Amino acid sequence: MNKSRKSTRQKRQNNLAKKIKRFIFFLALFAILGSLSLVFLFRYIPPPTSAFMLYQHFTDFKNDKGLVRIRYQWAAKENISPYIFAAVIASEDQRFYQHSGFDFNAIASALEERLNGRRLRGASTISQQVAKNLFLSPSRSLWRKGAEVWFTLLIELLWDKQRILEVYVNIAEFGDHLFGIESASRHFFDTPAKRLSAPRAALLAATLPNPKKFRTDHPSKYVLKKQQWILQQMKNLGYL
């Protein structure tokens, strides 16, 4: 009788284990196929929103602000000044066209600085920032970092470099509830993104990735100094 009960219990445990494994398998398959589909879809159509915009809404509700309007307007690459593409490359990712999503030279340099006692600086590429801003939350968990690697690989595999740049400047945060280069250009300079000059593009790029601290409308000495540095880098890279 006891052997029969143990046998029945063992069978139930085995069945439960199989169900859990099956559930994990299908969950992983759904995540893989879902992420592939999303990245492939956004290769061709403008993202209607981003994870960072949704997180902004969540933060507003959490702080009892209700539904605050987010200013976001998509602009196709032909309607964007080439200076803003040059400015973000000069400012954030000068090896953008040489790497495949991860700049291992920059990562090694950042780690070396940290080992020498200096503050750990960011080494994220533009591709990584697109992956994070479009699909993920601002959290810094190990899971989120792993997901960022996965989405970065997909983006580099399914998009070309120009599409990555186009999406990046369109979903980047340029101010409080202000996303995308078209909205930023019209808000700060009363001009469409297509007409942005090199100095204005460099000023906007100088506020990234923290435009709430480093503002375009009231630039600090640091932001103005960074703007001039970006302009010089644009010249060095042959964009001016």
What are the pLDDT digits (tens) for 221-233?
Answer: 999 999 999 999 9
Mean pLDDT, the chain, integer: 89
| Residue of 161, 163, 174, 162 lying closest to 201 (CA atoms) | 174
Q: Is the pTM of this model over 0.85?
A: yes
The 10 Å CB-count burial string (b at 16+, else e) for 229-240 is ebbebbeeeebe
Alpha-carbon gap, residue 176 to 89, rounded angstroms: 23
Give residue 201's pLDDT. Answer: 98
Q: Write out the two tokens for 94.
A: 């000068």
Give residue 114's pLDDT. Answer: 58
